[in-house]
A and B are shown apart, each in its own frame.
Chain A
Amino acid sequence: MLELLWLIPTLPFAGFVVLALIGAWLSPGKVALIGVGSVGLSAIMAALVSFRFLLSPPPGHLYSQILWRWIEVGNFMPEIGLSLDALSLVMVLVVSWVSFLIHLYSAEFMIDEEGYSRFFAYMNLFVGSMLTLVLADNLLLLYLGWEGVGLCSYLLIGFWYKDPANGRAAMKAFIVTRIGDAAMAMGLFLIFTHLGTLNIQELMQRASELWTVGSTLPIVAAALLLAGAVGKSAQLPLQTWLPDAMAGPTPVSALIHAATMVTAGVYLIARTHVLFSLAPAVQLIVALIGAATLLLAGCSALTQRDIKRVLAYSTISQFGYMFLALGVGAWSAAIFHFMTHAFFKALLFLGAGVVIMGLHGEHDMFKMGGLRTELPLTFWTFLIGSASLSALPLVTAGFYSKDLILWQAWSSKLGSPWLWGAGLAGALLTSIYTFRMVFLSFFGQPKARVSRGPGICITIPLVVLAVLSVIGGFIELPETLGNRPLFSEFLHSVLPNPVGGGSLLLPFQALAAIVSLGGIWLAYLLFLRHRRYTENLVRTPLGTALHCFWFGGWSFDWLYDTLFVQPFATVARADKEDKIDLFYRGLAWLNRTLHFGLSATQSGRVRWYAAAIGIGAIVTIGIAVLL
């Protein structure tokens, strides 16, 4: 069974090839069958392989499958090889099943769009690349998948390419993540130069044998990999691309910018956690980046009007939590939060997609309202997703994963009260902005008519994801609530548990629960009960300034525009005339002038030639005589 592992990434690739070659001549039904079917088969395959893996684990909890040798240059011999261990198994399951649900949703959601087969071709290519990324047994193949998802992200954000703004958003996403990717490539060079291999297992072993904790090399290598992860996972300071990436169709936002691609950064750090453990300084930076990002993005999410942008900032913020967890060494907590986040964030995006579709592409939450009665099923599933996002105690998956992160941010050896405090403040922000979104769009007076409700292909993913958003948390019950940490026990063969621990779990959990409920209550007061009061608050000078500042994403776009884009454009403008080329153009001019001068002497008049010979002879003799 396990030897069918190679089919998991291959099936979506095959779907892509078929759709890219003959998709334009197929009927929409067949396109959907191929597009959704290939990912569905891949998901079933992933489930079968996982089942087998769980029933009879291979030796060392690791199954490797080497397909062929990719390149052979000297001692550089990367292989196209897949490896399955507990970590990649979790990733593969989540990626393939969530992708399948989103594909199913897209089959109905995108049906009226031009380029239906192009859409599914890109989506399949994306899923194939993502599965390659998580299954790769060496960093080079991982990098191939990494770049593949980046490319698909570009293609899908710019899917509606007729609007130049979408093209710009796509380019922004591509270029900003490219900065991180370049750093990551350098990291790979460094690792290969010093450790002589890119195979992940060998690399981890050699790194822990050859490098000492805190020496320069692991710090540089980890920092370079971190830069790649920061770009992909939209963390500070490379987070600016994600809100703009909402220009793509909603299923794309759900798939790429919430559930899968942005998780690549988290996965990379968890995958190479040995390197990060060897570089405590970098690990501290990971935690700090996570804490800062979750607060910044949370504040920005609070002020957005566009429902998708709220979710975008929320995604950045939730990935901040994962980075925080990685930074304090709570590796499995980060992966756990990745899983629950994939469920509820995909659900929220898909729900938002239904709302947007029903209101003829209306994104502004202030023009929605009262959708509770018009779209009841969407409302209930969206509410479950929101509850999970704001970590409603006990009944939602988000509670268990976020609570685990908060607890370990406090209790782990690398944690600190400051990190925990930032996480708690972020949790408050999360529940406020989440329920602001719910109250604004689903409660209050109806402001627009809903023209189109969801069909069966949209309903199924919503319901399944809603169920997962609730029960997904029960596989990791904390000590106080049954003490069944199945998830981290399962991941234990790959990811070590954090060092440290304490006995104050219960008060902390109670505090987190209070914060979550308090946030919802505050949102109720501010955005449903006393709307006028909130509007007045925003109208005060300080309120307006803060609102503008947060609305623009803490002016990071402006900062980068001033720091990098404009100086570059100025230099480019100043050099429009190619000042540096003046010297070379002077040389060319000199040559041409000499050429014209000399060619003028070739007049064809024999007597002039004779005269020239005569004068030349006289001059030569004259020089010879005189000297």
Chain B
Amino acid sequence: MALVLMRHGLLLAGILFALGLVGVLVRRNILFILLSIEIMLNAAGLAFVVAGSRWIQPDGQVMFIFILTMAAAEVSVGLALLLQLYHRFKSLDIDAASRMRG
């Protein structure tokens, strides 16, 4: 079992998280924002897994399964919002929904 260096694993997780965050901030298309959020979640999950393998503990993978479950729930809500947004504004631009009414 080739040991992955913890440092490398965390670095990858950090890069992925940063990429995801930048995606959330700069993208206007809600679909891509959801994708970026997925990337961030997976980056966090990766960090757990790396840590779990470092201390030879199953807890990291258990956490990852929790995160996956949560991500599935989040995506279902997110996609429902996406559909509503598209219905309402005929576009996927998140800024179109910036006006607050009542």
Contact = CB atoms under 8 A, between A and B. Distances in A.
Contacts of B98: 603-606
B66 to A, nearest CB: 20
B45 to A, nearest CB: 18
A610 interface: yes
A614 interface: yes
Interface in B21-36: 21, 24-26, 28, 33
A607 B97 contact: no
A21 interface: no
A607 B99 contact: no
Given A604-B99, A604-B100, A614 B25 contact: yes
B100 A607 contact: no
Nearest to A610: B24
A38 to B, nearest CB: 67
A452 B16 CA distance: 113
Interface string A589-623: 00000000000001111110011001000000000
Contacts of B95: 605, 607
Contacts of B28: 607
B94 interface: yes
B91 to A, nearest CB: 14
B21 A607 contact: no
Interface in B51-76: none
A606 B100 contact: no
Contacts of A603: 98
A603 B95 CA distance: 10
A453 B54 CA distance: 126
Interface residues of B, number: 12
B25 A610 contact: yes
Interface in A570-605: 602-605
A604 B100 CA distance: 6
A614 B23 CA distance: 12
Contact of B21 (A602, A604, A605, A614): A614
A620 to B, nearest CB: 15
A37 B21 CA distance: 98
A371 to B, nearest CB: 85
A286 B51 CA distance: 101
A270 B102 CA distance: 75
Nearest to B94: A606
Contacts of A611: 25
Nearest to B21: A614
Nearest to A604: B98
Interface centre among A602, A607, A611, A614 (most CB of B within 10 A): A607
A410 B97 CA distance: 101
Interface string B72-102: 0000000000000000000000110111100
A598 to B, nearest CB: 15
A621 to B, nearest CB: 12
A108 to B, nearest CB: 74
A602 B99 CA distance: 10
A453 B100 CA distance: 85
Contacts of A604: 97-100
Nearest to A611: B25
Interface string A554-569: 0000000000000000
Nearest to B101: A604
A599 to B, nearest CB: 11
Interface in B1-36: 21, 24-26, 28, 33
B95 to A, nearest CB: 6
A583 to B, nearest CB: 35
A606 B33 CA distance: 10
Contact of B94 (A602, A607, A614): A607
Nearest to A603: B98
Contacts of B26: 607
Nearest to A606: B94
A604 B101 CA distance: 10
A607 B36 CA distance: 12
A330 B97 CA distance: 95
A603 B100 CA distance: 8
B7 to A, nearest CB: 18
Contacts of A610: 24-25
A395 B93 CA distance: 113
Contacts of B99: 604
A210 to B, nearest CB: 74
Contacts of B21: 614
A362 B33 CA distance: 97
B31 to A, nearest CB: 14
Nearest to B28: A607
Interface hub of B28, B95, B97 (most chain A Cβ within 10 A): B95
Interface string A436-458: 00000000000000000000000
A606 B26 CA distance: 11
Contacts of B94: 605-607
Interface string A28-58: 0000000000000000000000000000000
A150 to B, nearest CB: 59
A614 B99 CA distance: 22
13 contacts: A602-B100, A604-B97, A604-B98, A604-B99, A605-B94, A605-B95, A605-B98, A606-B97, A606-B98, A607-B95, A610-B24, A610-B25, A614-B25
Given A607-B26, A607-B33, 6 more contacts: A604-B97, A604-B98, A606-B94, A606-B98, A607-B95, A610-B25
Interface of B: 21, 24-26, 28, 33, 94-95, 97-100
Q: Which 5 A-B pairs have the closest CB atoms?
A: A604-B98, A605-B98, A604-B100, A610-B24, A611-B25
